[in-house]
Structure 1
Amino acid sequence: MSKTITAEQIANFAQQTQAQPAVSALAGAVQKNGIYAASYNHTSATALDPVFSVEINTGAVSNQKHSGRCWLFAALNMLRHEFARTHQVKDFELSQNYDSFYDRLEKANWFYEQIISSAKLPRTDRKVAKLFAAPDDDGGQWSYAVAITQKYGVVPKSVMPETTSSEATAQYSSVLNTKLRKDAIMLRQMIQDGASTAAIDAQKQKFMTAVYRITAYAFGEPPKEFTYTYRDDNQQYHTMHTTPQAFLQQEFKQNLADYACFASSPQNDKAVNTLYTVDTQGNVVGGTPVRLLNVAPDRLKALCIQLLKDNTPIWFGCDVLENMDRVAGALSGNLYNTDDLFSIHVNRDKALRLDTGQGSVSHAMTLTGVDLINDQPTKWKVENSWGDKNGHKGYFTMDDAWFDAYVYEAVIPTKYMNAAENKAWQGQPTILPAWDALS
């Protein structure tokens, strides 16, 4: 068998391609309109009408713009809807910039500590290489939101509004990560040269001072206390003077720490009712660790339905770029018929996609509704954080097949756990490598 492509093989490829039914029409459609437009399943898309039998009353959507803060937006959405309901402020919004500031500051400290602890490993070690590849970005896990809000609280958006850099983080991240990589090389060299713990810590503090300065210039300095004035939906005037931590504790009954992140991975190396964590992943040193409780897919879905019936919005992690029409706000398991278009069969097995890197937890959103027929879900209402120009004023509609294929995580209050889940949650987690699909 030839290991190289020959002219004879190319001729055979071309002959077989030309033998395909309607080849000219299909090729022309793809070349003119693109693969997704040429394979668009209109029947699947039109079935996603935004009507739901179970629906939480929510307001206008938020907009993360050119940033990767979906995990934080989705978490703060859970809190803001409570405040909007209890204080009658329909479109109330919390400051994502406030918690983003501390998240990026804490991630820098986390990175330095990871570099220090792994300093005796070679730079070519896969773990070390992973650290250098992404020292401090704006992506995150559910646990990151818990850790940041628990330590620093929250503030209304008007108290610390967005800046150009918080809405479009690429420039800030580039400057910061260039510095962090340089700092990491110095810290590793100090440790390899036998520097004292005190000397290493002093150098790290100098580095952190510069990180604070960069972040303050980009995002603004967060307030230690603030005055918030507003008119409710009945035009009644209110004012309060408080701190971010007191605001969270006094104005919100929800405690994000009372939620567990349930995963739904059918991979062979992920057991049901088993707790996992991810090596090197985190943002706050000493804060809430990454913890994922893997459960059966039907269990995760049943819990999500129960929470929505109980009027509780749900943070969930998914693979949003798969079978999505962003403009229409459609998420359908069969939105693009690429198999029929190209006469192929692509990988649609959830476990295999995760095993091979095709599947990933790329985005977090909030479930706010479900349509049940004979107690079975047909479609779900999704609050996204991409502004109101996409979908139905920013809300997406997801069919149940998409949920099955591309939803990987959802946060569930610990009080909903059964005995087996509670026992696993209280135990010691199995450590997944930093490059695992659930990272």
Structure 2
Amino acid sequence: MAKVINKAWGYRYVVLVILWLIYIINYFDRMAVLTFLPFIQKDLNLTPVEVGQLASVFFFAYAAAQISAGFLADKIGPKKVMYIAITVFTFVTALTGAVKNFTQFLFLRIGLGLGEGHHFAPAIRAINNWFPRKERGRAISFFATSWAVAPAVVPVIVTNISFYFFAGHWRPVFYVLAIPGIIGIILLWYFVKDSPKEMIDKGRLSKDQDIDDKNESPNENYSREEKRKSYGLFLKDFHFYIYTLLLFCQLAVYWGTTTWLTTFLVTQHGFNIKEMGFLVSAPYIVAFFAMMLGGWLMDKVLYRMKPIALIGYIGSIPVLWMLGSVENGNTSSLLFLLLLVGFFVNLNCGSIYAYLPKRYPKNVVGSATGLANGIGQMGAFVSPLVAGYLVKVGTNGTQDFGGVFIFFAAVSALAAICAIFLKENQVTTVANPLMNKEEHLN
């Protein structure tokens, strides 16, 4: 018989850490591409517009996958969906090292987007299954720090692997990145189940007062009418669509800056591969603390996302605007603005995803998250593409990103406007047959 784990209340933190580590592995794959993008651009002789297209097509596939991922997580359970996701994106990442031209790269980017796009919503659903409502803001904010930790460490790690082991070549690094993917599959298989109830039923987890007996199983069967009424809670909610537009803007700014930052540092400011690796990591070191601060403020101080969002978006406007106009050689100002961008752009990155679990009952959170993130990820699709057209290429091959960062600042302003109109009270209705007592009382 499998060993029973005592203190069931604490095991949810083990699950959270494992999900966090696996999502960092997810980011290793996509961030490695973005880190080496200026060098891939040179080797494959790509124009800025083609680079923007390659970045955007990933997010188009990623966005499409979000929708199916959410519904699959609710139907067959988040663990199975995450298994599929990790297997696909690990395989595609290894193939990236052999890419020869724009067309091959385009198809690989689509494959990577489809694989990684089936990871996020199931992870959120798993966290929602394991954590009570009062802790979800902090739990999801901690999970969201993977978006800060990975961009902070990946550029440094992959550029050093390339520099010290492969004489500055980028292709072999992608073969090496298959190893973390295999580790992620093993961690998911051994440590994670869809819910505490599943582990208790299998004798892997002891039962105590902190385990909610009413946690829904992701494979529970409900009638079509019950499901229709349940999904109507968010599909008929106007503020769900305001939130989705807010998420669109958030992801447009986050992934727009993340996609083009390495190219900006190399082509506009002339940094080499080692210098670029350090500078591109700097904003994400600050981002980790910004995300944790946002989650703490939401759960313990403000109890709402809106004020956190307003601080983040309004603060992003001037620092993004100024970042694009920093003069060459002014490294201290550049670093200072990069740190400010890391703080303001990421302050709401964790708490924004706690909005849906706090507003809607847990049985529809996977579907609501998948749909909202699927539409919202179109911001990540549009932003790098638009930015590619805004890059000014000089006669000597230099590139100017001033217009790009003005565009990111304008999108932040739109996000702030959305936040003003967003309502955050919990949606409850006696017409919802799946609403359990816990959802009414919290």
TM-score normalised to structure 1 length: 0.28
Q: Which protein shows a greater Rg?
A: 1
**Bigger relative contact order, structure 1 or 2 (CA pairs below 8 A, ≥6 apart):** 2
